[in-house]
Structure 1
Amino acid sequence: MIITKAGRRMFPSVRIKVKGLEPLRQYYIALDVVPVDSKRYRYVYHSSQWMVAGNTDHSCISPRLYVHPDSPCSGETWMRQIISFDRVKLTNNEMDDKGHIILQSMHKYKPRVHIIVHDSRIDLSQIQSLPAEGVKTFSFKETEFTTVTAYQNQQITKLKIDRNPFAKGFRDPGRNR
């Protein structure tokens, strides 16, 4: 996954379908991205694989929470649609003030989705961290990714450019889409 100082949309984006919510209850749905481990990685070209390059210290960056813009919403509404986090932006700028999710390059991460029961005593629209109660958290091994500032493999570069609707500027101008 490419990260930049200015912030770049996460692609592919996290999209989920939920069930089992109370239809009339209000919920916030949020996403954060956490380290998979405390390792730094490097790409080894001759073997086309990622290798551990040492340890890292993630303690300087606390995970930011991205609250879905439709939050809060009823359980009924959330359950009848696909919930997409297509506006989430990732950055490697530790001083970011735009609300982007801050990550370090050459590290492995996994997105987590949080379903948070609405509590009228707390304004969760400006939430900085997860409440102690009323939260269910989900993560999926298939969504783990390694962050880079440039793709390490030409096949991945081609795949991402061909499939990413935000990468139009990188495509051949004579190609039909």
Structure 2
Amino acid sequence: MASLHSRMFPVLKVSVSGLDPSSMYSFLLDFVPADGCRWKFVNGEWVAAGRAEGRGEGRSHGGIYIHPDSPNFGAHWMKAAVTFNKVKLTNKVNGGGQ
């Protein structure tokens, strides 16, 4: 039996041009929290669910996600849209790569 899979957010896709085809590049996302709250989806809407974990001094981002094809040549990144379809979000400080 196949499991149903739904996405909370659309997949991020970017078209890349102007890179040196023979140079190596890495693509990543840096998540920046909009506020100090944890959020959860309840009855069709987002509601605050307390204070966020690990928002100590000096922590200005929510985590970095490195595209699994990184590093790779410019030619690779320019041949098709770069798609971040494996990104997962979590409220946990150590989300195991999520």
**Same fold flag (TM > 0.5):** yes
Q: Say which SS state the counterpart of residue 28 (structure 2) adopts.
A: strand
Q: What's the counterpart of residue 55 of structure 2?
A: 59
Q: Which has the higher helix share?
A: 1
Could you tell me the percent identity over the aligned residues?
A: 39
Equivalent in 18, 21, 24 of residue 22 of structure 2: 24
Task: For 1:75 and 1:95, locate their aligned partners in 2 and report how far apart those are by CA, in whole Å.
Answer: 31
Task: For 2:30 and 2:22, locate their aligned partners in 1 and report how far apart those are by CA, in whole Å.
Answer: 26
Task: For 2:54 and 2:92, locate their aligned partners in 1 and report how far apart those are by CA, in whole Å.
Answer: 14
Count of aligned pairs between the two proteins: 78
AA at the equivalent of 1:99: G
Change over 3 Å in CA distance of 1:58–1:95 after alignment to 2: closer
Change over 3 Å in CA distance of 1:69–1:10 after alignment to 2: farther
Gaps of 5+ in 2: 1-5, 38-45, 47-51
CA RMSD, Structure 1 to Structure 2 (Å): 3.0
TM-superposed CA distance for 1:64, in Å, is 1.5
Gaps of 5+ in 1: 1-7, 41-49, 51-55, 101-177
Q: What's the counterpart of residue 40 of structure 2?
A: none
Task: For 2:64 and 2:97, locate their aligned partners in 1 and report how far apart those are by CA, in whole Å.
Answer: 9
Does the aligned pair in 2 maintain the 1:10–1:86 contact within 8 Å?
A: no
Q: What's the counterpart of residue 49 of structure 2?
A: none
Which structure has the bigger radius of gyration?
1
